[in-house]
């Protein structure tokens, strides 16, 4: 079964290569729902049982303060680390897949932190 992933509009399109596209159902906010608020994106994630991939730390507040039980992957990287973060993201999705739902995951090129919501 393919994993549903929402790419927030702040995500560099190079991060979602053939691996993600072939092994996931990708919902690209920038191309399909430009201007959606965080709340709208969370509702979309709930409706589609999807994991949000973002660079926006505000999603942490949504899941922990507002008790939204969704999967979020927060990417933390510098522009020159794009290939490294892309590889890390792909490895985490391949290894954990649907287990990432109901977890807040922070990825950097050298660190992975997965926390149950």
Taking only the tens of pLDDT, the chain with its 117 residues reads 688 999 999 998 888 866 565 667 889 999 899 999 999 999 999 999 999 999 999 999 888 888 778 999 999 999 999 999 999 998 999 899 989 999 999 999 999 999 998
* Residue-number span of the structural domain to which 109 is assigned: 3-116
In contact, 43 and 59? CB cutoff 8 Å: no
Can you state the percent helix, strand and coil of the chain, rounding each to 5? 45, 25, 25
In contact, 54 and 73? CB cutoff 8 Å: yes
Question: Number of structural domains, the chain?
Answer: 1
What is the value of pTM for the model shown?
0.92
């Amino acid at each position: 079964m393919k994993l549903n992933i929402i790419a927030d509009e702040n995500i560099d399109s190079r991060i979602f290569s053939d691996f993600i596209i072939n092994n996931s159902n990708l919902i690209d906010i920038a191309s399909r729902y430009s201007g959606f608020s965080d709340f709208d994106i969370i509702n979309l994630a709930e409706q589609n049982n999807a994991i949000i991939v973002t660079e926006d730390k505000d999603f942490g507040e949504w899941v922990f303060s507002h008790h939204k039980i969704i999967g979020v992957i927060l990417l933390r990287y510098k522009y020159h680390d794009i290939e490294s973060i892309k590889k890390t993201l792909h490895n985490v999705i391949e290894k954990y897949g649907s287990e990432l739902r109901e977890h807040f995951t922070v990825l950097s090129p050298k660190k992975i932190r997965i926390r149950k919501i």
